[in-house]
Structure 1
Amino acid sequence: MSRLSFGSVALPVFALFAFTLTAAAEEAQLDEIAVAAESTSGQAAGPFASAGYVNGLTGTGGALRVVDAASAGTITGAQLNSRPVTRAGEVLEAVPGLIVTQHSGEGKANQFFLRGFNLDHGTDIAIDVDGMPVNMRTNAHAQGYADINFLIPELVGAVEFHKGPYFARDGDFASAGSVRIDYLDSVEKNLAQLSLGSFGYKRALSIASTPLGEGRLLVAGEAQTYDGPWDVPDRLGKLNGVIRYSQGTQADGFSLTGMAYWAKWNATNQIPERAVSEGIIGRYGTLNPTDGGNSGRFSLSGRWSQTDETGITRASAYVIRYQMNLFNDFTYFLNDPINGDQFHQRDQRILGGGEVAHIFQGSLFGLSMENEIGVQTRTDSIRVGLFNTASRQYLSTVLDDRVLEASAAFYFENRVKWTDWLRTSIGFRADGYYADVVSDTPANSGKARDGIVNPKLGLVLGPWFDTEIFVNYGGGFHSNDARGVTATVDPQSPLFTLNRSPFLVPSTGYEVGIRNRSIAGLETSLSLFRLDFASENLFAGDTGTTEPSRPTRRIGVEWTNRYAVTSWLSLEGDLTITNARFTDADPVGNRVPEAPTTIASAGFTLGQGLGWFGSMRLRYFGPRPLIEDNSVRSKPTALVNGRVGYNFDNGMSLALDVLNLTNAKADQITYFYESRLPGEPVAGIADKHFHPVEPTAVRLTLAGRF
């Protein structure tokens, strides 16, 4: 939870407000967006820049969908890849105000923070890659678990982001925001790349495309290993591949894409501060060297679109096979003083779905108007389990359930340009959910249904003096784990009854924003937002039970700046301050644990074309209350990453990344809860548990384009 503390903003972090080039993609119609994105992609510095954005863009399209809100935007693949990052998921920190971190082994889903939310592994941020949802509902570890480790950043053509539940196309998990990632259809030049770095980091990547028939064939492959600084090496092994055939453009064309991903790793999870201060383990040590996991993801997807005199029709479909095994031990000997508290979470599923939509372009009394109608479906067939283990060896079963979960949604949005200075959007979204749970605890089996209808409203005033004003309102929701919706007894103690979770938990968002471009090359936006969440019960995958939560309200301000100073220098700076509170009265306190008050970033990018290039990023993750009364707080984390390199005229490039340049002894994540070490009281000890930031590391990348 987080306190609105303006004093904390005056941190040096914010030597700030450096700013970087805004994507021209937000300013034009569909064909103009593609041209702008393609031209921008060539400007990013270094071997990690996308090799060209050809016939690809995100978004719903439509001439009137220009900018939805002051907090919405588009990022080109080149801008995304200009950032030196520790792990693939961190490239999404190009979305202003988004923190992407890790509290476990490198193959586990990232932890996300945005707008005063600890989003866990994705509960209230919807992530989509190439038309496929990444969030996993009724997941073994966390509701909305978004494993983005299969992302190949160099393949990203563009990223469209929205914040808040204001947009009719966004449904489950999108209350805090949504991120839609589009892959390239082809590359201008083939890419071969090799990276070597500290702590056993090795990565090889190849991307190639060629004409085939009337279209293009793109093939990409990635292999990576990494140990990390941990006393027990991560020994991450990752293989990743993409193959795509496409014809035409996104406005008129189609593509078929296959993806395959596999990874395994050891994990050094968060550790108690007392274990380090007492010398039991070091800062990079572990209390259970057998934690870790593996995961795999295989998908086949397709998209089709056509433009005619009535507008644009688009359709997409996908099928995904996903499996995950996690072995975690967070409390050590609190629950089982003999064997320890390690548990195994297993998730195996096949999911499929799709979307069909049409944008009718026309007029109303001579005014430009669009009507967008869409239908979305998704079905998950899941086997999900929770087992007690010791050194990854089976001890007993807590849960072993089979779940069929299906949903369908209909959305409509009307957009009208009333005058040169007034645009409106009015719409709604209706979602229906069904689940059938077959549990190994018969009392927890059952069927559930739920539905929700949410309004979506937007108003844009301007531009006046290169300034626009945005007003947004909308309802949203996230689904809860279906097992918590049907469960009636504690699976570990069947004599204890449980409160059932609501299936769909509503949210309501409000936002007023302003965006200004009166200074050549500079785009600055300021947003004031509020987001309310209803009371809810949450299913905890780590225990197999439901845990009560309370209604919350977040009020905040977000300031985003992008400045193209010259053709070879761009600056950026972002700041988000959020006040997060429980809105009911409770003696334990009204702070929302883990909700960040302040998130900020600043950076610059140098270089274009041949010759030297460079980039530097500062990311600040402010202190957070760890319990409701705010008596225990985390420390802030400020990290600096840098890059310098050279592009040769023969198509080769060499880059050196320095990660955690200042060697900050900070934490990726901090929690406060009870755990027990050998010899400690049976009830355990409440303590901070942290996952440290990796020390300074260097990575050298050689890339060739041909």
Structure 2
Amino acid sequence: MLSSSVAVAAPAEQATLAEIAVAGDAGAAAAAADSGYVGGTLGIGGPLRTVDAASAGIVTGAQLNARPVTRPGEVLEAVPGLIVTQHSGEGKANQFFLRGFNLDHGTDIAIDVDGMPVNMRTHAHGQGYADLNFLIPELIGALEFHKGPYFARDGDFASAGSVRIGYLDTVEKNLAQLSLGSFGYKRALGIASAPLGEGHLLVAGEAQVYDGPWDVPDRLGKLNGVIRYSQGTQTDGFSLTGMAYWAKWSATNQIPERAVAQGLIGRYGTLNPTDGGDTGRFSLSGRWSQTDETGVTKASAYVIRYQMNLFNDFTYFLNNPIDGDQFHQLDQRVLGGGEVAHIFQGDVLGRPAELEVGVQTRTDRIRVGLFNTANRGFLSGVLDDRVLESSAAFYLDTRVKWTDWLRTSIGLRADGYYADVRSDTPANSGKARDGIVNPKLGLVLGPWADTELYVNYGGGFHSNDARGVTATVDPTSPLFNVVRAPLVVPSTGYEFGIRNRSIAGLETSLAWFQLDFASENLFAGDTGTTEPSRPTRRLGVEWTNRYAVTSSLTLEGDLTITNARFTDPDPVGRRVPEAPHVIGSAGITYGEPLGWFASLRFRYFGARPLIEDDSVRSKPTALLNGRAGYTFESGMSLALDILNLTNAKADQITYAYVSRLPGEPAGGVFDRVFHPVEPTAVRLTLASKF
């Protein structure tokens, strides 16, 4: 039984991390590097929240913004073993790979920005679609990551991992920044904060245009804004935040290798110049927290209005030899939800303990449509559905420090789902309910000789598209029945890890993991969506290293090796398509508060099976990005980024499926299709802090 006989202690370690994140200067970055990625939790938690895993940690905003990146979502590659790429126009959600998963646009990685979920369930393009293009990296205070389904606060889409990003409440100095670069890249950014009443007002705005190297320019246009009023601290205070984001673009989607080999198009060409889309995201959110004699109470709420129009053509003339196979995916929704939790701080049998109890809820009211088009002009409707989807979750997590060398975390999470689908195909309308209860266990032994051992176990899940749960007929042809999918699909994960800090400044960790899924969500090239598939198992090893050589020089190196297999027998094979076997990265970062700074980042994305029998594979991709710059005493800084330093002729993504070019057989041709890495590009950034 948890008693309250121990006085409440301020979460000192966590407060230090928050201060590091807010400071954002070179000295703070060095302190964060020296402390490594371990400890604490983003936002509010108790001192015992450090009971995590060998594969969990925090990255500060200063560390994130020291990395040269091509697009905003790539800052998530600071999470060891995570690949963030793109297979379409710049306004579309990124593609994610982690621990042997092709996560498509977010099927099994839960992403949260400033207390709001980014993943969209029952989405027009793919389950768990997570569009991070509204992210402003310079506003990030800290990023918290977990891998595996071991953590009670993480629910839907979090089986492979979760990422929580927190924005700053204030900045020490205002920022004005202008970037110019290759292929029509232009970006302007402003961030300012000032005292207002008893708190602070922060305002940020961003505008960007970009064409890319493509024969048909992306013509990306993006506007982005954030306004926040805050008072107090993370443990005693509140904030109100409004965000607005809008973008439109053209897209060069993946192309068949044979089209390039035959000279029909070039490496940066397209077979449908009218692909592309537009999207908008508008949100209002708030958080509140208070500390009392029992512990910390926190509450947050949000409402988001989101829309997307996406035009894709992946198979060209396979289904419609006259007008082509372009289709329009429409998603319009309003979603809202929140979380309330209390962290009781006290003791169990005289030992320091915490009990965290929380409730989460979310409701999406969705219009989701699919239409056949030609040059973005309407041809025919496939479906136009309305979906109401709601969920509620209860979780608890008990953390106890039994001795100086033994800590435990025992948790439980219960999730319930309800969906009401009203389809324009009446046979596919219906209601569905589902739920799942998952245990969460963690054990930390040590430290002995600056070494800790970790054992983690937990159940997780992802939700499926609600339309696939209620459907009884294929909307393209009512003659064919379809197999209904479950609304909730369970997963089970195990992990054993070790972390060592015996060398000053060096933190190294090694983790062995296993993750079993009752059903895999796989990308379907002919429809451009994710579809339920067979059960899978992943076994892997992850090695992570961070070395603060000095206060201004940091080295990093990560390696993940994963074996991914279907667990049921099937003549087609056991390999999981698109599952990466090897992912690696390395980096060096140098910087002083004034004077020169530099960063060099290497990223290796290993070859992958493209079909179940492993007879068709992708090529590996190795990329090198660099940055060098100088900070003047006046507050001005100048930075030069060189992306794809070696001008590698590699692929961002590769698939294998049937498509048809003009003149080919009616049944089409099975081929590898790819989206190339952009050639070497330079970007010059002038920034002023005042």
Q: TM-score range by the shorter chain?
A: over 0.9
What is the Cα deviation at residue 567 of structure 1?
1.2
**Which residue matches 1:464?**
448
1:465-484 pair list within 5 angstroms: 465-484=449-468
What residue identity is the alignment partner of 1:352?
A: G
| Matched residue type, 1:422 | L
The corresponding residue for 1:511 is 495
Tell me the equivalent position of 2:289. Answer: 305
Amino acid in the other structure paired with 1:362: G
User: What's the CA shift string for 1:305-351, capped at 9, x where partnerless?
Assistant: 00111000000000000000000000000000011000000000000
One-letter amino acid of the counterpart of residue 150, structure 1: F
Question: Structure 1: which 4+ aligned runs deviate by more than 2 Å?
Answer: 27-46, 535-548
Seen in structure 2, the aligned counterparts of structure 1 residues 321 and 491 have a Cα distance that, compared at 3 Å, is same
Aligned to 1:13: none
Contact 2:125/2:528 (<8 A) preserved? no
**Which of 542, 555, 562 pairs up with 2:539?**
555
Matched, 1:418 2:402: yes
CA contact (8 A) 1:45 1:605 kept: no
Among candidates 176, 186, 206, match of residue 222 of structure 1: 206
Of 400, 404, 415, the residue aligned with 1:431 is: 415
The count of corresponding residues between Structure 1 and Structure 2 is 672
- Aligned-partner Cα distance in 2 for 1:541–1:259: 33
1:253 matched to 2:240:
no
Secondary structure in 2 matching 1:108:
coil
Q: Give 2:582's aligned residue.
A: 598
- Residues 142, 540 of structure 1: 8 Å contact kept: no
Please give the TM-score of this superposition, normalised by the length of structure 2: 0.96
Aligned to 1:666: 650
Q: Secondary structure at the match of 2:19?
A: helix
Of 626, 636, 650, 2:610 maps to: 626
AA aligned opposite 1:146: A
Give the alignment's Cα RMSD to 1 decimal: 1.7
Q: Is the 8 A contact 1:386 1:544 kept in 2?
A: no
Aligned to 1:274: 258
The one-letter code matched in structure 2 to 1:318 is Y
Quote the Cα distance in structure 1 between the aligned partners of 2:94 and 2:505. 34
Confirm whether residue 181 of structure 1 aligns to residue 165 of structure 2: yes
Q: CA shift at 1:539, angstroms?
A: 9.8
Match of 2:620 among 631, 636, 639: 636
Whole-Å separation in 2 of the counterparts to 1:29 and 1:585: 49
Q: Structure 2: how far apart are the matches of 1:44 and 1:312?
A: 26
2:20/2:60 contact within 8 Å kept: no
Between the aligned partners of 1:112 and 1:403, the Cα distance in structure 2 is 26
Contact 1:651-1:704 at 8 Å conserved across structures: yes
Assess if the C-alpha contact under 8 Å between 2:104 and 2:523 holds in 1.
Answer: no
* Corresponding residue number in structure 2 for 1:444: 428
Q: Distance in 1 between matches of 2:464 and 2:550?
A: 48
478, 482, 489: which one aligns with 2:473: 489
Question: Per the alignment, do residues 163 and 537 of structure 1 end up closer, same or farther by CA in structure 2, a change over 3 Å counting?
Answer: closer
Distance 1:464 1:40, change over 3 A: farther
| Aligned mate of 2:391, from 393, 407, 416 | 407
Residues 1:576 and 2:560 are matched in the alignment: yes
Whether 2:681 is the aligned partner of 1:689: answer no
Give the corresponding residue for 1:610.
Answer: 594
Residues 501 and 546 of structure 1 are in contact (CA less than 8 Å); yes or no, is this contact kept in structure 2? Answer: no
Q: Is 1:136 equivalent to 2:105 in the alignment?
A: no
Distance 1:31 1:547, change over 3 A: closer
Q: Is the CA contact (8 Å cut-off) linking 1:107 and 1:149 kept in structure 2? A: yes
Kindly indicate whether residue 103 of structure 2 is the aligned counterpart of residue 119 of structure 1.
yes
Distance 1:332 1:323 in 2: 26
Shift of 1:535: 3.2
Asked if structure 2 preserves the Cα contact closer than 8 Å seen for 1:45 and 1:613, the reply is: no
Choose from 101, 122, 136 the match for 2:85.
Answer: 101
Distance 1:81 1:546 in 2: 32
* 1:171 matches 2:132: no
What is the percentage of aligned positions where both structures have the same residue? Answer: 83
Higher relative contact order (CA 8 A, sep 6+): 1
Q: Which of residues 224, 237, 248 is equivalent to 1:240?
A: 224
Pair 1:59–1:598, CA change in 2 (3 A): farther
Give the stretch that moved more between structures: 538-547 or 308-317.
Answer: 538-547
Do 1:500 and 1:537's aligned partners in 2 also have CA atoms closer than 8 Å?
no
Cα separation, partners in 2 of 1:558 and 1:41, compared to 1, 3 Å? farther
**Residue 79 of structure 1 corresponds to which residue in structure 2?**
63
Query: How do 1:185-204 residues align onto structure 2 when only pairs under 5 Å count?
Result: 185-204=169-188
Asked if the contact 2:315–2:526 (Cα under 8 Å) also holds between the matched residues in 1, the reply is no
Deviation (angstroms), 1:364 = 1.2
Alpha carbons 1:45, 1:608 under 8 Å: kept: no
Q: Residue 125 of structure 2: SS of its match in structure 1?
A: coil
1:37 corresponds, among 21, 32, 39, to: 21
How far apart in 1 are the matches of 2:613 and 2:69? 35
Q: Which residue of 2 aligns with 1:290?
A: 274
Contact 1:508 1:533 in 2 (8 A): yes
**Offset of 1:35 from its aligned partner?**
3.2
Give SS of 1:496's match.
Answer: strand
Against the structure 1 CA distance between its residues 548 and 323, is the aligned structure 2 distance closer, same or farther, given a 3 Å change threshold? closer
In structure 2, which of residues 337, 343, 346 is the aligned counterpart of residue 362 of structure 1? 346
Q: Deviations 1:262-283 (Å, cap 9, x if unpaired)? A: 0000000000000000000000
Report the CA distance shift for 1:133/1:445 in structure 2 as closer, same or farther (over 3 A).
same
Is the 1:268–1:289 contact (alpha carbons within 8 Å) kept by the matching residues of 2? yes
CA distance in 2, matches of 1:510, 1:41: 38
CA distance in 2, matches of 1:69, 1:120: 25
In structure 2, relative to structure 1, the CA distance for the partners of 1:60 and 1:458 (3 Å cut) is farther
- Supply the AA of the counterpart residue of 2:555: L
Question: How far apart are 1:59 and its partner, in Å?
Answer: 4.4
Contact 2:246–2:279 at 8 Å: present in 1 too?
Answer: yes
TM-score, normalising length: structure 1: 0.93
Once the two structures are superposed, what CA deviation does each residue of 1:455-503 show, in whole Å capped at 9, x if it has no partner? 0000000000111000000000000000000000000100100000110
Distance 1:540 1:39 in 2: 45
SS of residue paired to 2:407? strand
Shift of 1:199: 0.0
Alpha carbons of 1:475 and 1:140: their partners in 2 closer, same or farther (altered >3 Å)? Answer: same
Which amino acid in 1 is paired with 2:175?
L
Residues 457 and 153 of structure 1: is their aligned pair in 2 closer, same or farther, counting only changes over 3 Å?
A: same
Gaps of 5+ in 1: 1-26, 50-55
Distance in 1 separating the partners of 2:521 and 2:104: 16
Q: Which whole-Å deviations, capped at 9, do the CAs of 1:351-382 have from their partners, x for residues lacking one?
A: 00000000000011110011010000000000
| CA deviation after TM superposition for structure 1 residue 235, in Å | 0.2
Q: Secondary structure at the match of 2:73?
A: helix
Q: Which residue does the alignment assign to 1:500?
A: 484
Matched, 1:212 2:190: no
Distance (whole Å) between structure 2 residues aligned to residue 196 and residue 72 of structure 1: 36
Which of the residues 342, 346, 353 maps onto 2:337?
Answer: 353
Per-residue deviation, 1:141: 0.1
User: Measured at CA, do residues 373 and 45 of structure 1 come closer, stay the same or move farther in structure 2, by a change above 3 Å?
Assistant: closer
Matched residue, 1:159: 143
Equivalent position SS for 1:495 = strand
- Distance of 2:526 and 2:232 partners within structure 1: 47
| Matched position secondary structure for 2:549 | strand
Corresponding residue SS for 2:481: coil
SS in 2 for 1:259: strand
For the residues of structure 2 that align with 1:37 and 1:265, how far apart are their CA atoms?
Answer: 33
Match of 1:186, SS?
A: coil
